[in-house]
Amino acid sequence: MNTNRGPADRLKKLRQELVGIELKVPTMNGTPRRYVNLDNAASTPTFRPIMEKVDEFLGFYANVHRGTGFKSQIASWAYDTARRDVARFVKADLADKTVIFTKNTTESINKLSRLYPFRPDGVIITTMMEHHSNDLPWRRRARVIHAGLNPDGSLDIEDYASKLREHAGKVDLVTVTGASNVSGWVNPCHYLARLAHGAGAKFVLDAAQLAPHRPIDMKPSADPEHIDYLAFSAHKMYAPYGVGALVGDKQPLLNAEPDIVGGGVVDIVTIENAYWRELPEREEAGTPDVVGVVALAAAVRLLEAIGWDAIVEHEERLARYLLERLAEVPGVTVYGQSDAGNLRDRLAVFAFNVGSIHHALVAAILSYEFGIGVRSGCFCAHPYMLCLLGVGQQAAEKVRSEIIGRDRTNVPGAVRASVGIYNDESDVDALVDALKVIARGGQTGKYKMCKETGNFVPEGRDCFEFENHFSLTPRLPE
Predicted confidence (pLDDT) per residue in 45-91, tens digit:
999 999 999 999 999 999 999 899 999 999 999 999 999 999 999 99
Q: What does 345-366 look like in DSSP terms, one character per residue?
A: TB-SEEEEEETTS-HHHHHHHH
Q: What is the pLDDT of residue 161?
A: 98
Q: Integer distance in angstroms from the first to the last C-alpha of the chain?
A: 34
What is the residue-averaged pLDDT of the chain? 95
Q: How far apart are CA 143 and CA 360, in angstroms?
A: 35
In this structure, the answer to whether residues 349 and 208 fall within a common structural domain is: no
CB count in 10 Å sphere of residue 346: 23
Residue of 189, 380, 387, 450 marked active site? 380
Is residue 350 domain-shared with residue 279, that is, in the same domain?
A: no
Asked if residue 327 belongs to a domain, the reply is yes
Write the CATH number for 78: 3.40.640.10
Helix (H) or strand (E) holding 25: strand 24-25
Same structural domain, 283 and 384: no
The predicted model gives 340-349 an average pLDDT of 87
Using the 3D structure, point to which of 304, 320, 336 is the last residue of a domain: 304
The answer to whether the CB of 85 falls within 8 A of the CB of 297 is yes
Given a cut of 80, is residue 7 above it in pLDDT? Answer: no
Whether 232 is covered by a domain: the verdict is: yes
Q: What order of strands is seen across the sheet that includes strand 375-377?
A: 332-335, 349-354, 414-418, 375-377
238 close to 247: Cβ distance less than 8 angstroms = no
Whole-number Å distance between alpha carbons of 178 and 230 = 9
Q: Are residues 280 and 354 in the same domain?
A: no
User: What SS3 class is residue 397?
Assistant: helix
pLDDT at 120: 94
Model confidence, pTM? 0.96
Give the domain-ending residue among 278, 304, 330: 304
What is the band of 5 on the pLDDT scale with cuts at 50, 70, 90? low
- Residue % of the chain over a pLDDT of 70: 98
For position 463, what pLDDT does the model report?
Answer: 64
Mean pLDDT over residues 444-465, rounded?
A: 88
Q: Encode pLDDT of 378-406 as tens digits.
A: 999 999 999 999 999 999 999 999 999 99
> Span 18-43, mean pLDDT?
95
Q: How confident is the model at residue 341 (pLDDT cuts 50, 70, 90)?
A: confident
Residue 156 lies in a domain: yes
Does pLDDT of 344 surpass 60? Answer: yes
CA 131 vs CA 39, 163, 176, 244, 384: distances in Å: 16, 20, 10, 16, 8
82 and 154 together in one domain: yes
| 2: pLDDT strictly greater than 70 | no
pLDDT band of 1, cuts 50, 70, 90 = very low
Confidence of residue 465 (pLDDT cuts 50, 70, 90): confident
Average pLDDT over residues 441-467: 89
In a domain, 473, yes or no: no
450 catalytic residue (yes or no): no
pLDDT band at 460 (very low <50, low <70, confident <90, very high): confident
pLDDT at residue 171 above 90? yes
**Do both 37 and 106 map to the same domain?**
no
For 93, residues 6+ apart whose C-beta sits below 8 A from its C-beta are: 87, 218, 220, 221
In a domain, 342, yes or no: yes
What does the alpha-carbon distance between residue 361 and residue 365 come to, in Å, rounded to a whole number? 6
User: Does any domain span residue 1?
Assistant: no
Q: Is residue 2 part of a domain?
A: no
Split into its structural domains, the chain has a count of 2
Contact criterion met (CB below 8 Å) for 176 and 202: no
434 shares a domain with 407: yes
Last residue of a domain, one of 277, 304, 331: 304
Q: Are residues 256 and 173 in the same domain?
A: yes
- Closest Cα partner for 429 from 316, 326, 317? 326
Residues 183-215: tens digit of each pLDDT:
999 999 999 999 999 999 999 999 999 999 999
* CATH number assigned to the domain comprising residue 442: 3.90.1150.10
Residues 315, 227 share a domain? no
* Residue-number span of the structural domain to which 461 is assigned: 7-46+307-466
For residues 130 and 170, membership in a common domain is answered with: yes
Q: Which of 62, 71, 115 is nearest to 280 (CA)?
A: 115
- Angstrom CA distances, 137 to 9, 163, 182, 408, stand at 42, 20, 20, 25
Same domain (yes/no): 86, 35: no
Q: How many CB atoms lie within 10 A of CB 339?
A: 11
The answer to the question of residue 299 being in a domain is yes
CA of residue 24 relative to chain centroid, distance: 26
Same-domain check for residues 281 and 167: yes
